[in-house]
Amino acid sequence: MKHILKPIASLVIVLVTFTSCNNTKKSGSNSGALSSNVAEKVFVAPGEHDEFYAFISGGYSGNLTVYGLPSGRMFKEIPVFSQFPTSGYGYSEETKPMLNTSHGFIPWGDSHHPDISQTNGEIDGRFIFINENNTPRIAKIDLQSFETTEIIEVPNSAGNHSSSFVTENTEYVVAGTRFSVPIPQRDMPIKDYKGNFQGALSFISVAPETGDMDIKFQVLMPGFNYDLSHPGRGKSHGWFFFTTYNTEEANTLLEVNASQNDKDFIAAVNWKKIEEYVNNGGGKMMPAEYAHNVYDEHTHTATSTIKKEVRVVNPTDVPGAVFFLPTPKSPHGCDVDPTGEYIVGNGKLSANLTVHSFTKMLDAIENEKFDGEAYGIPILNFEDVLAGTVEQPGLGPLHTEFDDQGNAYTTFFISSEVVKWKVGTWEVIDRKPTYYSVGHLTIPGGNSRKPQGKYMFAMNKITKDRYLPTGPEMEHSAQLYDISGDKMELLLDFPTHGEPHYAAAMRADLIKERSRKIYNLDENNHPYAAKSDAETKVVRDGNEVHIYMTTIRSHFSPDNIEGIKVGDKVFFHVTNLEQDFDVPHGFAVLGQNTSELLIMPGQTKTSVWEPTKVGVWPFYCTDFCSALHQEMQGYIRVSPKNADTPIKWSMGEDIE
C-alpha cells in the first residue's frame, strides 16, 4: 500500500512552498506618505452608502456574503447551502426542505461561484446563482429579499465546480462536474476509471418571468475534470466554454498523475445546437434522483420534490456541437472577454497565458481542421485557434477579468500577483503583488458585455500576518485596488468570511431601488399564521400541539400556556405582526433541541419543541426589539405524560 512519488512532485512542492512567504509587519496605523489619500478613497462616511455591491462566495461556509465597495464592509451573510443558526435557516420547519437532497438532509455545502442574472449581456440584479460543490446543487437567491428561494440538485455530477455561470439572457445557468464518476453510479473498481467514468455538463433552464429552474439537458463528456466555465457573449452567444484538467484520466495522486500532459483542453459547447436537438426530441431520459426545493414567499415555506429522471445527450450524437481547444496546462479559469471574441485559458502550470480566438475557432470548425479526436469529440489545432499569448506574465495563472477599457487582469497564485494586460496586443501593462497567493479576482460587471470597472478586488488564499492574529485559523483576505488609472493602486485589505472563492459585483442602484423592506401581512398565506391577537390559539391533535402565536412590540400572544405534556411535539407557529422595516422578533424556549426563529415583519415561522422535563419553562424574544424588549417573555407549563392539565392559554391575565 505504498505510494510512488514521481520526479515532478518535488518541483511542484518547491513551487507551492514558495507561496508561504511571511513578511514582518509593523503595528499601528496610517503610515506611508499617501495613506491619507488612500484612506479617503475607501472611507464611506457614517450615513452614506457604498457605490457597489460585492457578492462573495462563502466557500466552505456554504453561504453567500454581501459586501459594500469601496469600504469592504460585510452587510449580510445569506444562508444558502448550510444551516444558519442565526436565523433558523435549515432548522425551522419552513426552511428544512431547502437542504433536502437525494441523499437526505444535508446541513452543509461548499459554495463557490456566484453569478448575477443578465439581460442582453448586462447584469440586471434580479437574481444571483451559486453552486454547491460537494453534493452538487445550484441555488438561486432573490435580490429583492436577499433570500435563497430555489435549490436544484444536479445528478450524475460530482464536485460541481465549473458552475454556476449564466448565459447572456439568463436562458441557462450552467453546472459542470469537476470529478467524473460512473454514469449511472455503480459498484466498480476505482482503477477502471479511464474510459468508464464520465463528466456531465448540465444546462439548467431559467424561466424568464419567474426564474424557475429545471435541468433541460446534461451533456455526457469524457472522464476528465471540468474546472471552470464561462458563457460566450455577443458574437459567441450560444456557446459555452469549459476548462478541463486531468485529461490523463488519473484516479490517484493527481498532483503528479494529472500534471503529465503539456496541454489539456477547453471544451467549446454550442448549447444552442444541443437545445435545438433536444427540442426536437434528441437525447434520452435516464433514471436519476435529484431534489428540487422551492421557497414560496407567500406561505413563507419551502417544499422539496424528488425528481426521477433527467435528459442526457451524447455529444457525438450532435455533430458540430462540441469541440476541444488544446490549452496549456491544467487550466483553471476559463474567461471570455466583453466582446465575446477571446477565450482565455488560465493554464495554472503553464509559463504563459493562452488566448483563443472565437472567430478562428469557427473558421477551423467550418474547415474541419481537426487534430484527431478524444472519445469521438474533434480536437482543433492549437495554432489554428490561438489569438495570442501573454508571455511570461507570472507563475500559476488562475483567473482573468476585464475592465471597460479593453484591459484584462489575471491572478497568479504562485507568484502572488495581479497582472494587467492589453486585450489584442497581449502586452503586460502593470503588475501588483497580492498578500498572499491570490485565487480569483472580481471587477464589477466583470462577467458581462459591460464591465463597470473602477475597482478590482483580489481574493487571497493565505492570510498569515495581514491582520491581528486569531490563533491557527485566520479569515481569508481580500485586497481592493483602484483600477481607474493606468496603474493599479492597492487601497485596502479587508477580511472575508468563510473561504471566498469567487465573487460577482455590480453598481448598487439597480438592487437598492427594488429592495424589499417587509412582508405584507395581508399576503401571508402560511397555513398556521395568526394575523391578529384574536386568531391566536393552542390546538391539541393527539400528541401534537400547535400554538398559533403572534409577536408585536413588546409581547407574545399568548404568553402563558398550560396543558403541554412530556412526550408532546409542540409546534410554535410564530407570526410577526409588525409592518415596519427592521423590526424582526425572535423566539426561543429553554432546552429546545433546535435553533431560534428570527421572524421578519409579516412572516410566520415554525419551531418544534419536544419537552422531556416537567416544569414551567420560559420563552422570550431573542431580538432586541424595543425599550421593553427585556419584558417580552412568556411561560409554558409542561406536565407529566399522564397528567390531565387542560390546554389553556392567555395574555395579560392569569390562566384560571
533 binds its own copies (CB under 8 A): yes
| 239 forms part of the interface with its own copies (CB under 8 A) | no
Residue whose CB is less far from its own copies, 186 or 485: 186
Q: Measured between alpha carbons, how far is 620 from 635 in angstroms, rounded to an integer?
A: 9
Which residue's CB is nearer to its own copies, number 30 or number 367? 30
Measured from the CB of residue 553, what is the shortest distance to its own copies in angstroms? 5
Cβ–Cβ contacts within 10 Å for residue 384, how many?
19
Q: Which residues from 358-387 bind its own copies, rule CB under 8 A?
A: none
If one asks whether residue 571 binds its own copies (CB under 8 A), the answer comes out as: no
> What value does the CA radius of gyration of the chain take, rounded to a whole number of Å?
27
Which residues, other chains included, contact 332 with Cβ-Cβ below 8 Å and sequence gap of 6+? Answer: 227, 228, 243, 245, 346, 348, 397, 398, 399
Which DSSP string do the residues of 596-642 spell out, in sequence order? -EEE-TT-EEEEEE---S-EEEEEE--S--STTGGG-EEEEEEE-TT
Interface with its own copies, residue 246, by CB under 8 A: yes
Residue 255 interacting with its own copies (CB under 8 A): yes
487 lies in the binding site for its own copies (CB under 8 A):
no
Beta bridge partners of 357: 342
Q: Which of residues 101-120 bind its own copies (CB under 8 A)?
A: 101-110
Binding of residue 148 to its own copies (CB under 8 A): no
Closest distance between its own copies and the C-beta of residue 355, in Å? 21
Cell numbers at 591, concatenated: 432546552
Residue among 341, 286, 327 nearest 308 (CA): 286
Residue type at 571 in one-letter notation: F
| Binds its own copies by CB under 8 A, chosen from 272, 369, 422, 516 | 516
Helix (H) or strand (E) holding 101: strand 100-101
**What part of residues 151-180 is at the interface with its own copies (CB under 8 A)?**
158-159, 161, 178-179
Write the DSSP string, 554-586: TEEES-EEEEEETT-EEEEEEEE---STT--EE
Check residue 522 for interaction with its own copies (CB under 8 A): no
Give the nearer residue to its own copies in terms of CB position, either 166 or 506.
506
Helix ranges (H only) for 408-508 are: none
Q: Which is nearer to its own copies, 396 or 451 (CB)?
A: 396
405-464 residues near its own copies, rule: CB under 8 A: 413-414, 435, 439, 461-464
The nearer residue to its own copies, 36 or 425, going by C-beta atoms, is 36
Instruction: For its own copies, give the closer residue by CB, 178 or 526.
Output: 178
Residue 485 contacts its own copies per CB under 8 A: no
- Could you say whether residue 540 binds its own copies (CB under 8 A)? no
113, 237, 263, 332: which one binds its own copies (CB under 8 A): 332
Under rule CB under 8 A, residue 16 binds its own copies: yes
Q: Which is nearer to its own copies, 45 or 527 (CB)?
A: 45
By CB under 8 A, is residue 353 in contact with its own copies? no
Interaction of residue 21 with its own copies, rule CB under 8 A: no
State which residue, 449 or 476, has the beta carbon closest to its own copies: 476
Beta carbon of residue 377, minimum distance to its own copies (angstroms, whole number): 22
Within residues 465-484, the interface with its own copies by CB under 8 A covers 466-475, 479
Residue 587 CB, nearest distance to its own copies (Å)? 10
DSSP 36: H
Shortest CB 45 distance to its own copies, Å: 5
The candidate with the shortest Cα–Cα distance to 329, out of 344, 349, 355, is 349
Give the C-alpha distances (Å, rounded to integers) separating 635 from 550, 574, 608, 655.
15, 15, 16, 11
DSSP H or E stretch at residue 390:
strand 386-390
Rounded Cα distance between 526 and 603, Å, is 8
Residues 575, 524 contacting (CB under 8 angstroms): yes
> In the stretch 609-638, what mask flags binding to its own copies with x, by CB under 8 A?
---xxxxxxx-x-xxxxxxx-xxxxxx-xx
CB-CB neighbours of 466 under 10 Å: 19
Residues within window 174-233 making contact with its own copies, judged by CB under 8 A: 178-179, 181-182, 185-191, 193, 197, 225, 227
Residue holding cell 390546554?
Answer: 647
| 30 scored as a contact of its own copies (CB under 8 A) | yes
Distance in angstroms (rounded) separating the CA atoms of residues 105 and 88: 15
Extended beta strands in 391-436, E state: 397-402, 407-412, 417-422, 428-433
CB-nearer residue toward its own copies: 292 or 332: 332
The footprint of its own copies on residues 61-100 (CB under 8 A) is 61-62, 66, 68, 70-77, 82-83, 85-87, 91
253 vs 374, beta carbon nearer its own copies:
253
